[in-house]
Amino acid sequence: MEYSDLSVIELRRDLHCHPEVGWTEFRTTAIVAAILDELGFELALGANAVNEASRLGVPSSEEIAAARQRALDHGAPEEYLEQMGDVTGLVATKRYGDGPTVGIRIDMDALKITESTIPDHAPAREEFISRHRGLMHACGHDGHTAIGVGVARAINRSEFDGTLKLFFQPAEEGGRGGKPMSETDHLEAVDHFMTVHLGLGHETGTIIAGRETPLPNTKYDVRYEGAPSHAGHAPNEGRNALQAMSAAIQNLYAIPRHGDGGTRVNIGEVSAPNQQNVIADQAMMRVELRGETPELENYMTDEAVRIVEAAAEMHDVDVARSVYGQTTTFEPDGEMVGIVSDAANAVPDIDHVILREPIAGSEDASFLIRRVQETGGTATYIGIGASNPSGHHTSEFDIDEDAIELGIDLVAEAILQFAA
| DSSP bridge pairs for 226 | none
Of the candidate spans 97-105, 157-165, 275-283, 379-387, the one that interacts with a copy of itself by CB under 8 A turns out to be 275-283
Residue 164 phi, psi dihedral angles, 5° rounding: -110, 130
- CB nearer a copy of itself, residue 365 or residue 414: 365
Contact by Cβ (8 Å): 203, 403: no
> Rule CB under 8 A: is residue 286 a binding residue for a copy of itself?
yes
Among 238, 332, 377, 385, interactor with a copy of itself by CB under 8 A: 238
Letter string b/e over residues 175-193, b meaning 16 or more CB atoms within 10 A of that residue's CB:
bbbbbbbbbbebbeebbbb
Nearer to a copy of itself, 99 or 174 (CB): 174
Of the pair 352, 393, the CB lying nearest a copy of itself is at 393
Using CB under 8 A as the binding rule, the residues of this chain from 101 to 130 that contact a copy of itself are: none
The dihedral sign for the CA sequence 299, 303, 306, 309: negative
- Name the 3-class secondary structure at 231: coil
Give the list of residues 6+ apart from residue 288 with CB closer than 8 angstroms, or none.
Answer: 217, 218, 219, 264, 265, 266, 267, 268
- Nearest C-alpha neighbor of 380 from the set 207, 232, 212: 212
Give the interface segment with a copy of itself, choosing from 139-147, 183-191, 299-307, 381-389 (CB under 8 A): 299-307
| Binding status of residue 316 toward a copy of itself by CB under 8 A | yes
The minimum distance between CB 71 and a copy of itself, in angstroms, equals 24
CB of 354 to a copy of itself, least distance (A): 18
CA distances from 167 to 202, 331, 340 (A): 25, 20, 19
Round to whole Å and give the CA distance between 77 and 73: 10
Judged by CB under 8 A, does residue 264 bind a copy of itself? yes
Options 88, 182, 195, 243; binder of a copy of itself; rule CB under 8 A? 243
CA angle 292, 52, 79 (to 5 degrees): 130
Nearest by Cα to 19 from 122, 152, 139, 116: 139
Using DSSP, state whether 150 is helix, strand or coil: helix
At its nearest, how many Å lie between a copy of itself and the CB of residue 314? 4
Task: Work out how close the CB of 261 gets to a copy of itself at its nearest, in angstroms, rounded to a whole number.
Answer: 8
Span 371-410, contacts to a copy of itself by CB under 8 A: 393
The count of residues interacting with a copy of itself (CB under 8 A) is 65
323 binds a copy of itself (CB under 8 A): no
Note whether 215 binds a copy of itself by CB under 8 A: yes
- Nearest distance in Å: CB 236, a copy of itself: 4
**Residues binding a copy of itself (CB under 8 A):** 173-174, 215, 219, 230-238, 240, 242-243, 246-247, 249-251, 253-254, 256-260, 262-280, 283, 286, 288, 290, 299, 306-307, 309-311, 313-316, 360-362, 393
